[in-house]
Structure 1
Amino acid sequence: MSFSNKEQGEVKQAMPSARDVEALVRAEHQDPFAVLGPHGDDAGGQFIRAFLPGALSVQVLARDGSRVLGSLEGTEVPGLFVGHFVQAQSYLLRTQWAGGEHIGEDPYSFGPLLGEMDLYLFAEGNHRDLSSCLGAQLKTLDGIDGVRFAVWAPNARRVSVVGDFNVWDGRRHPMRLRHPSGVWELFVPRLGPGEAYKYEILGAHGILPLKSDPVALATQLPPDTASKVATPLSIDWQDREWMQARGERQRADAPLSIYELHAGSWQCEVDDLGEVARQYDWHELAERLIPYVQNLGFTHIELMPIMEHPFGGSWGYQPLSQFAPSARYGSADDFAAFVNACHLAGIGVILDWVPAHFPTDAHGLAQFDGTALYEYGNPLEGFHQDWDTLIYNLGRTEVHGFMLASALHWLKHFHVDGLRVDAVASMLYRDYSRNAGEWVPNRHGGRENLEAIDFLRHLNDVVSLEAPGALVIAEESTAWPGVSQSTQQGGLGFAYKWNMGWMHDSLHYIQQDPVYRAHHHNELSFGLVYAWSERFILPISHDEVVHGKHSLIDKMPGDRWQKFANLRAYLSFMWTHPGKKLLFMGCEFGQWREWNHDQQLDWYLLQYPEHRGVQKLVGDLNRLYREHPALHDQDDAPQGFQWLIGDDAINSVYAWLRWSKEGKPLLVVANFTPVPRQAYRVGVPFAGRWGELLNSDSDTYAGSNYGNGGGAFTEDEPSHGQALSLVLNLPPLAVLILQPEG
């Protein structure tokens, strides 16, 4: 190409310095806006520079596309095009490529994008709506539609956004660094929803593996790992009545009965051989799941993590996209519609959420900008030996704010009713699952993780303000005090804590052969020693029916009949024990097989009466639980529970009263041996007939139907500290629930 003397002079004048050119060519320039795009001259004109490796030619058009203003001339540097224009004005670039032509605005013609307040709040760790700030946002700037990309990478030497739109070439769209926040940003004109993208990051020691967007709102379907430009949520929310009443429905004195499930394996489409053909999407799940949960009487469902995660075998507990619903089940709109449908059916939605750790996948958060950014730098602080994962450095304000914003994203944008925080114990203790010398003490020399404690307390305070009525629930397995106590009183501020002690003790007891249960009698009663130290949920979760632990029914001793009777008795004991309820899918009908995330539940078992009987019992227990305040409105108060018989170890019999706030009792009597107990006396406070509300041995539930003909009358004989008593026939391996009818 040959130029006139004038053109040669203009090109030479328009050329950046040799250092800038070298940095551009090597994709190492830290401030591409200082070189590329329009730059004014002293006479009111402008220089325009574009670095477009592989382009054949570049013309400059008027912004309205009506005329050609001139050309950018190629230089000795392949891909670098420059030009000088007498008059400064808005423009388009028409670029000729070997594969065709592209017309669009110059990304380097736009000024700074993020507002100073956004950057300040992010750096402070208190940006409440980060999912509308960072990541890929559809925006209209100067009348031009496109996508604003923004990503935090403070230690990067250069960050580029790459995708199909630039053939994944990191030289094409290097981003602007906003000091001092460490956020890189770029507006790419005429880009639309559905575009796949990642970030190419140049760290201190070279280019890193391409990184997915930490604040992506959508992703490709695994095993692909790119982020996707998402459209803003567009759903006709119809759950206003639910949201307004949610606070009352979720009070500590309200019934809370949770059905825990894994969205991908609850029910699937199967082929002719009974193998899983595909997983249902959110709409198909709603059609099938909601009526099922309604029929069984659960108040809530709890979904194992639905945030995008690379490995399905982690069940979602190793997520990398804390703001994106998994592409496995549909779009963000699809998930929002699912939540809306649940609310219209009177069902709350709780999500499992994981702020404790994240996987080491190269495309994820690990060494995100070439340094330990999201994780602690010291492996003694930042690496989970049990799970081969990395631990969030919640002491870093930006990471603290990142996770806080994730929680609010699900609660506010998706109307989710609660978050169950996974692995809280691992967050609270720096020596969690570590031997001496394998952990770093806090600044006081102690084992408590002060940063994580501050985060959890802040999280609970912010949720109560930003998402009124929403629950935050701790899966916490230690004796840490005040987990469900308010932060004002020095607690962590959770609404509930999972009662792992009750779960371990009661399961250990029920697995004993009845011959030996007398020696383990206190394992069922011990939970009442601390039942009011926290607000508890009684969890029979997925963790108890995997990895060789056996399914719930397969834990039970005895022959087939005894296994079902034990299961019915155990569930009845659970529903009448103080504490809210959580039951994992499949347990409600006695699935024999351990849960497998790659297969649906064994629904064919419901052709057998014993399995239908367990399912019917769970539905009846839920209805009793909801209808009788005695079973729920004083769960966290000692006056709601009264032992009548707690010491009959020889017969493995227990009896207690549950009291409502209004002073109306229910009597619960449990016999955990296969021996029917005839004429067993139990003291009661009120005279008259006590009607049988439930007998877990009823033939309705495929039991032996041994009992009391629907009720019994009191006798004037004192017993168990009561002036009156009932003489009852106690069915084998069964629980009775009775109420006074006077």
Structure 2
Amino acid sequence: MLNDADLDALLAGRHADPFSRLGLHADDAGRLWVRVLLPGAADVTLLDAGSGKRIVELEHRRGGFFEAQVPRRKHRFDYRLAVHWAGGGEGVYADPYNFYPQLGDDELQAFAEGRNFRPWLSLGAHVVQYGDVRGVRFATWAPNARRVSVVGNFNNWDGRRHPMRLRHQAGVWEIFVPHAAEGDLYKFEIVAGNGALLPLKADPYARRAQLRPDTASIVTALPEPTPLPRQRERANQRQAPISVYEVHAGSWRRGVSGEFPTWDELAEHLPGYVADLGFTHVQLMPISEHPFDGSWGYQTLGLYAPSARFGPPEGFARFVKAVHDQGLGLLLDWVPAHFPADAHGLAEFDGTRLYEYADPREGFHRDWNTLIYNFGRTEVREFLIGSATYWIERWGVDGLRVDAVASMLYRDYSRPEGQWIPNVRGGRENLEAISLLREMNEHVGEIEGAITVAEESTSFPGVSAPTYAGGLGFHYKWNMGWMNDTLRYMAEDPINRRWHHDKMTFGLIYAFSENFMLPISHDEVVHGKGSMLSKMPGDDWQKFANLRAYYGFMWGHPGKKLLFMGQEFAQRNEWNQAEALPWGLLEDDRHAGVQRLVRDLNKLYREHSALHRLDSEPGGFEWISAHDAEHSIFAWVRRDGTGRMVIVVCNMTPVPREGYSLGVPDGVTAWKEALNTDSAYYGGSNMGNGVAAAGLPVQAQPAHGRRLSITINLPPLATLFFVPI
């Protein structure tokens, strides 16, 4: 019989190795004993698994602990437990303590050594079957815990029922729970090393979770590998046109329920809308599970789980397919920089600062009141890199936009002197985070066609350079400097713009130092910053004209494009995540005109290789007029490297200029106006250069330092595109 000390430890939930006592065991004399801990059971009978015959009834000692010596058996055998419950009901069950260790020594060794970058294949909850027994394998990393149990609706949330086996070489706890099934709720009950019982913890590797405010993890199937469609691989390359429509899924439109739309509701409307406007990609703000709506998903606790706000995960799979069916790519916002300190999450997961840095000068984010991942810890790195590969490999998304990279790169990010710890070299760079990002990008780079985009706001060198060249390995970097400079310029009254001319030209000094994406994101239209339309000076006519001219400038400028939802039809108020976009504005032709312009800009951008093929190379751009600050005019040539060209001209004052001489490159006899943001079709004054078949003939009249020119009408507050005939 089990000694009282072991029994007391089991009943108190503090036994260090429950598998050594529960289940089927031989004593020193070679006799077999079976022991089970089933609080709430009235009686338990041991059955032969093959024949179903009764072997022996177990004796109830106390607290739901039953045991018996097995008669006439000398070797291990498969058995079942027939249980009558005190509250009524009965059943026949396989015993979780009659199963061997679940995870192989090799995979655990790889995890401990930092060689397992798909840890989601081992950890978390996985439906498995052994013979005729179907159940769920649970595993979690908690190396400093004294005891870990999985609790859920399958065991009445009782931590005594399923204490897990510790695999010491990796600090991983595991158990196979027979008869647990897909759809079951679960958490981990953890006793810290000091004996304290922690709040129930959600599974860091959960692939599905309850809708907030509930926080349990949900057993769900592992998605099948989903490779990118072949055409998507080509569409994500640097030479391709990439124009991204950024979406907050919860507020693009409201669902039929009046709250969050389902994935199927989004799939029905969003991809078709984005494709009709000519964008090439959809980018979703974080849709991984998060507790607080107001964080917009950027304070995530479920790096492997699509949010329950939009329905079950299989709906997300249908949404991804709908996006690809429209010929679009899908990018997801991904947040490896920090996580919230909610008690059910990663914070002090096993009673120690496991996922986060221990010292708050490294591990606490002052701006967001969140915790910072310990980027140097082997298992944390695998957790993060595994999440990146999971979304791409298992859901088939095209890539990730990585949030808050700047906060990861610098140890003194938003910290005053004395509140940060230098690196081992005495510098301010976070060497562990830099190493993590490089390693993540290398693993993503192994997936054919997948891309990563960095939101990085500093001048850190080589963000989009390959890791073998010393870079971070991202495919693209958001050009935050360009965005800030040009928006400051546009906010100026046109009469003052002559004094700020360099804000529009400065970006070309460094435009080809990275593979840049030009972002007008959600961050520019919240927190009192106003909408894009409200940033523009002047009366209503001038606001719309300024905005149209700016969009033309942006689409003609080197760099991939990103526009946040609602700005394509000139939303008047800043974005509010609690409300749907004001679609009724499209009944006003001024707003509909801006939408038509964005559609045509995307069409022009995609159809003319000169506007995208050499976005990241100096050979794709040449100034015609960069210094006409007096008239606030900018003009340049875009090239594709094969002889194709597009000329872009911007007039950023409300003064129309008829008969304007524009210097043009050699080798073309006539040019025609391809797009004019002042067209009446978009809501402008309709001053322009016509669409005559003969176009605008090239004259042997010098202008802008060139021997040839064309004479154009330059509308007020407008951007024009010209292509050769």
Normalised-by-shorter TM-score class = over 0.9
Q: Work out which of the residue numbers 464, 482, 489 in structure 1 matches 2:469.
A: 489
Q: How does 1:577-726 map to 2 (within 5 A)?
A: 577-686=557-666, 687-710=668-691, 711-726=695-710
Hey, what does 1:208 align to over in structure 2? 198
Q: Work out which of the residue numbers 62, 70, 77 in structure 2 matches 1:85.
A: 70
- Shift, 1:331, TM fit: 1.9
Deviations 1:176-233 (A, max 9, x none): 0001210000110011110000000000230000000000011111111000000233
Hey, what does 2:218 align to over in structure 1? 228
2-structure distance, mates of 1:61, 1:72? 11
C-alpha contact (below 8 Å) 1:233/1:332 kept by paired residues: no
1-structure distance, mates of 2:673, 2:565? 28
Aligned AA (2:79) = Y
Q: Work out which of the residue numbers 63, 85, 88 in structure 2 matches 1:97.
A: 85
SS of equivalent residue, structure 2 residue 255: strand
C-alpha contact (below 8 Å) 1:125/1:402 kept by paired residues: no
Aligned AA (1:78) = G
1:262 and 2:251 correspond: no
1-structure distance, mates of 2:660, 2:270? 42
1:735 and 2:719 correspond: yes
C-alpha contact (below 8 Å) 1:56/1:98 kept by paired residues: yes
- Shift, 1:126, TM fit: 2.7
1-structure distance, mates of 2:108, 2:222? 21
- Shift, 1:53, TM fit: 2.1
Deviations 1:485-535 (A, max 9, x none): 111111111101100000000000001111111111110000000001101
Deviations 1:227-273 (A, max 9, x none): 000023369x6xx7x62233322111111100000111101136xxx
1:137 and 2:123 correspond: no
2-structure distance, mates of 1:184, 1:490? 38
What is the aligned-residue RMSD (CA, Å)?
Answer: 1.3
C-alpha contact (below 8 Å) 1:131/1:217 kept by paired residues: no
C-alpha contact (below 8 Å) 1:566/1:734 kept by paired residues: yes
Q: How does 1:319-338 map to 2 (within 5 A)?
A: 319-338=300-319
Aligned AA (1:92) = R
C-alpha contact (below 8 Å) 2:255/2:262 kept by paired residues: no
- Shift, 1:117, TM fit: 1.8
Hey, what does 1:389 align to over in structure 2? 370
Any gaps of 5 or more consecutive residues in structure 2?
none
SS of equivalent residue, structure 2 residue 573: coil
C-alpha contact (below 8 Å) 2:109/2:169 kept by paired residues: no
Hey, what does 1:47 align to over in structure 2? 33
1:62 and 2:48 correspond: yes
Deviations 1:675-714 (A, max 9, x none): 1111111101244321100000001101110111234222
Aligned AA (1:305) = P
Hey, what does 2:232 align to over in structure 1? 246
Q: Work out which of the residue numbers 146, 168, 184 in structure 2 matches 1:157.
A: 146
Aligned AA (2:37) = F
Hey, what does 2:529 align to over in structure 1? 549
- Shift, 1:142, TM fit: 3.5
C-alpha contact (below 8 Å) 2:134/2:178 kept by paired residues: yes
Deviations 1:130-178 (A, max 9, x none): 2221111000124310000000000000000011111111111100000
* Distance change in 2, residues 1:729/1:389 (3 Å): same
SS of equivalent residue, structure 2 residue 686: coil
- Shift, 1:60, TM fit: 1.1
2-structure distance, mates of 1:297, 1:160? 52
Hey, what does 1:365 align to over in structure 2? 346
- Shift, 1:45, TM fit: 4.5
- Shift, 1:411, TM fit: 0.6
- Shift, 1:665, TM fit: 1.4
- Shift, 1:660, TM fit: 1.3
Percent of residue pairs identical: 56
Deviations 1:633-671 (A, max 9, x none): 111111111111111111111111111111221111100
Of stretches 703-712 and 41-50 in structure 1, the one that deviates more from structure 2 is 41-50
1:118 and 2:107 correspond: yes
Deviations 1:457-479 (A, max 9, x none): 111111111x1211111100001
2-structure distance, mates of 1:479, 1:156? 42
Aligned AA (2:67) = V
Hey, what does 1:218 align to over in structure 2? 208
2-structure distance, mates of 1:322, 1:458? 18
1-structure distance, mates of 2:656, 2:348? 64
1-structure distance, mates of 2:665, 2:248? 44
Q: Work out which of the residue numbers 318, 321, 324 in structure 2 matches 1:343.
A: 324
Hey, what does 1:518 align to over in structure 2? 498
Any gaps of 5 or more consecutive residues in structure 1?
1-13, 271-275
- Shift, 1:424, TM fit: 0.4
1-structure distance, mates of 2:224, 2:431? 40
Aligned AA (2:390) = H
Aligned AA (2:157) = W
1-structure distance, mates of 2:206, 2:93? 25
2-structure distance, mates of 1:471, 1:464? 7
2-structure distance, mates of 1:679, 1:202? 81
- Shift, 1:344, TM fit: 1.8
C-alpha contact (below 8 Å) 1:666/1:739 kept by paired residues: yes
Q: How does 1:431-470 map to 2 (within 5 A)?
A: 431-465=412-446, 467-470=447-450
2-structure distance, mates of 1:19, 1:41? 16
- Shift, 1:31, TM fit: 0.3
Aligned AA (2:612) = H
Size of the alignment, in residue pairs? 716
1:184 and 2:157 correspond: no
Q: How does 1:157-176 map to 2 (within 5 A)?
A: 157-176=146-165
1:475 and 2:455 correspond: yes
Moved over 3 A (4+): 41-45
Give me the TM-score of the superposition, normalised by structure 1: 0.95
Hey, what does 1:37 align to over in structure 2? 23
Aligned AA (2:205) = V
Q: Work out which of the residue numbers 374, 377, 392 in structure 1 matches 2:355.
A: 374
Deviations 1:357-397 (A, max 9, x none): 00000000000000000000000000000000000001000
Hey, what does 1:11 align to over in structure 2? none
SS of equivalent residue, structure 1 residue 199: strand
Aligned AA (1:160) = S
C-alpha contact (below 8 Å) 2:453/2:476 kept by paired residues: yes
SS of equivalent residue, structure 2 residue 331: strand
Q: Work out which of the residue numbers 19, 24, 27 in structure 1 matches 2:13.
A: 27
Aligned AA (1:85) = V
